Chain A
C-alpha cells in the first residue's frame, strides 16, 4: 500500500472525512473522478463468519485501491463511534468503517442475517446482496458479472 493511500485510509478509519474523498465519496470536487461503486460489508463482533471474511475483504480493499470501487464496513451492532473504531481495529479491519449517518445516507436497510455484503452503484442503488462469507474471488466474480470496472 502506498504511503499516501495508507495515510488516507488511516484518516478514514479514524473517522476523519476528507473534502472530496470521504468514506462515501459523496463530496467529489468538480475535477475529481465520478462517484465510486461501493462494496458495503456489515460485520459484528458476535459474528464468527464475519471475522473469517475480513482478511479477504482487506485484500480486496488493497487491490481495488486504484479503481473506482470502494470497500466499506458497517458495524451491525451500532456501537458508539469510539467503540466501533476500537472494535474495527481489534478485528483487523483495514477498510473504512462508516458512521451511522453515513450508513443512513446510503439508504440501506439493515440486513436480516450476518455477514451481509451489499454492492451499490455510484448513485447508491443496491445492485446485489451477498449473504454469507465472501472471499476476494467471490466478490470479483460478482463485480465482473455486474460489469463493474475494477
Chain B
C-alpha cells in the first residue's frame, strides 16, 4: 500500500473515532473542539458573550517573568487574531485569581493584578478601558482608591450600558495594621480586620462613579461572581462569620441600595481556612441561579440553587455532584432558560470537565464530559458562557505544558 494511502486511511479512522467520541448520549449532545488563536504557555482563560452575541476569549501568555493578557473574538465561527491588552513583568499571577474582560456598549474593560510593592504579596487591581471609537486602550487605572498596600483581587465584572461597567472585588484594605493606611495618623486606633467585599461603577474612561462596601467580612481567597437580573445587579461570594461559617451569600442592588447579604443556602460549612473555591451566578430576567462548592464534614459537594425573584429567595439546593469533586464551578443561562453548569469531577489526579443542563425547575436534563483534565490547581478554573442555546467552555490543558482550550457544547434535547 502506498504511504499516502495509509496516511489517508489513518486520518479517516482518526477523524471517525474523534467524531464518535464527541457525540454522546445517543447523538443528543455535541462537543466540538474550537481553535482559538492561542499559543503554548497560556492559561487563566475566561470566556464571555457580549450583547451582540459575539463570544470573547481572554487568556494570559507567560514567558519567564513576563505576563501578557490577550483576547480574541469569535464571530460567526471565525476567530479574530489575538489582540494584546496589556503585559508586564510585575503582575501577580495566580491560578485562582485571574483577569476578567467585559464588553460594554462603547468598548471593553479588562483587569489584571499588579504587585503593589516589591518583596510583598500585596497587589492592586489594575484595569484598562478600550475606546471603541478611537480604537485604543486607555491608561491603566487602579480601581480601588484606598491607597493601602494590601491584597485586592477576585474580580467580577458586568457591562451596565452607556459605557459604564460594574466591578466587584475582594479588598484587603482592613487586613493591614493602621500604620499601613495613608491616613494612619488620623485613625490611630484602627485595627487589622478581615477581607471585605466591595463594588463600584465606572464610566467609559475608568472614572469611579459610585463605590460601596458590600460586606465587611468575607472569605479571603474565593472568587466573586456577579450577574444582572431584571431588578439590577447581584453579587455572590463566600461569606465568613466570626464563627468561621463560610457559606455562599448574595447581595442585590434593589431600589437604589444594596440589600443585607443573605445566605443562598445555610450549609453551615465551618472551616477556619479559605477553600479557594468561589461560587458562580447567572441571571436572565427574574431567573437567577447560583452554583457553588461546599465541603461540610469533609464531604465535597457541588450544589445549585434557583430563584425566580431576582435572587431575593432561593429554592432548596439541588445536589449536582458529591464526593469526587473539587468544585471550580461556572454557570450560564441559555436563551431557552435552561441553566448550564460546569465543574470538575475528580478521580485522584485525573478530573473530568463536566457540563450539565438543568431546567428552571431544577430538573437535570442532560450532562456530558467535555474533556479529561487534571485535578491539579494548574488546570485552573474552567469558565463557561452561552450564546443562544450553545455553551462555550474554556479551560487549561496541562497534559503537555500549558495551553488554553475551548469547546462548544450543544444539547439537542427533545421538545417537551
Interface pair B377/A49, CB less than 8 Å apart:
no
Which B residues are in CB contact (< 8 Å) with A44?
221, 276
Interface pair A110/B271, CB less than 8 Å apart:
no
Interface pair B300/A112, CB less than 8 Å apart:
yes
Interface pair A113/B271, CB less than 8 Å apart:
yes
B268 is an interface residue with CB less than 8 A from chain A: no
Interface pair B274/A49, CB less than 8 Å apart:
yes
Main secondary structure of the interface of B (DSSP, over half): loop
Taking residues whose C-beta sits less than 8 angstroms from the other chain, chain B's interface range is 20 to 34
Interface pair B271/A46, CB less than 8 Å apart:
no
A51 is an interface residue with CB less than 8 A from chain B: yes
A77 and B276 alpha carbons, distance in the complex (Å): 10
Contact pick for B220, options A45, A47, A76, A90, CB 8 Å: A47
A78 and B378 alpha carbons, distance in the complex (Å): 6
Render B175-188 as a binary contact track against A, CB cut-off 8 A, 1 for contact. 10000000000000
Which A residues are in CB contact (< 8 Å) with B284?
none
A110 and B295 alpha carbons, distance in the complex (Å): 13
Instruction: Count chain A CB atoms within 10 A of each CB in B92, B94, B271, B273 and give the residue with the most.
Output: B273
Which A residues are in CB contact (< 8 Å) with B175?
48
A46 in contact with B221 given A77-B94, A110-B326 (CB within 8 Å): yes
Give, as a whole number of angstroms, the nearest-CB distance from B262 to chain A: 23
Tell me the residues in window 79-132 of chain A with beta carbons closer than 8 Å to chain B beta carbons.
Answer: 90-91, 104, 110-116, 131-132
A65 is an interface residue with CB less than 8 A from chain B: no
A114 in contact with B95 given A51-B121, A76-B377, A78-B377 (CB within 8 Å): no
Which B residues are in CB contact (< 8 Å) with A91?
121
B298 is an interface residue with CB less than 8 A from chain A: yes
Which B residues are in CB contact (< 8 Å) with A51?
121
Render B254-282 as a binary contact track against A, CB cut-off 8 A, 1 for contact. 00000000000000000111111100000
B244 is an interface residue with CB less than 8 A from chain A: yes
Interface pair B220/A78, CB less than 8 Å apart:
no
Which B residues are in CB contact (< 8 Å) with A112?
271, 275, 277, 295, 298, 300, 326
Instruction: Count chain A CB atoms within 10 A of each CB in B276, B326, B377 and give the residue with the most.
Output: B276
Give, as a whole number of angstroms, the nearest-CB distance from A93 to chain B: 13
The residue in chain B whose Cβ has the minimal distance to the Cβ of A87 is: B121
Interface pair B151/A46, CB less than 8 Å apart:
yes
The residue in chain A whose Cβ has the minimal distance to the Cβ of B298 is: A112
A11 is an interface residue with CB less than 8 A from chain B: no
Which A residues are in CB contact (< 8 Å) with B300?
112
Give, as a whole number of angstroms, the nearest-CB distance from B347 to chain A: 12
B376 is an interface residue with CB less than 8 A from chain A: yes
Interface pair A90/B119, CB less than 8 Å apart:
yes
A45 in contact with B121 given A77-B377, A78-B377, A78-B378 (CB within 8 Å): yes
B247 is an interface residue with CB less than 8 A from chain A: no
Render B340-375 as a binary contact track against A, CB cut-off 8 A, 1 for contact. 000000000100000000000000000000000001
Give, as a whole number of angstroms, the nearest-CB distance from B98 to chain A: 11
Render A32-45 as a binary contact track against B, CB cut-off 8 A, 1 for contact. 00000000000011
Instruction: Count chain B CB atoms within 10 A of each CB in A45, A91, A113, A131 and give the residue with the most.
Output: A113
A133 is an interface residue with CB less than 8 A from chain B: yes
A133 in contact with B376 given A46-B94, A47-B220, A112-B295 (CB within 8 Å): no
A112 and B294 alpha carbons, distance in the complex (Å): 9
Give, as a whole number of angstroms, the nearest-CB distance from B53 to chain A: 34
Interface pair B377/A114, CB less than 8 Å apart:
no
Which A residues are in CB contact (< 8 Å) with B159?
none
| Chain A residues within CB distance 8 Å of chain B | 44-49, 51, 76-78, 90-91, 104, 110-116, 131-133
The 8 closest A-B pairs by CB, nearest first: A132-B272, A113-B273, A112-B295, A46-B221, A113-B271, A113-B275, A78-B377, A131-B273
Given contact pairs A104-B349, A113-B273, A132-B271, enumerate 11 new A-B contacts (beta carbons under 8 Å): A44-B276, A45-B92, A46-B121, A47-B276, A48-B121, A48-B151, A48-B220, A49-B273, A77-B377, A112-B271, A113-B272
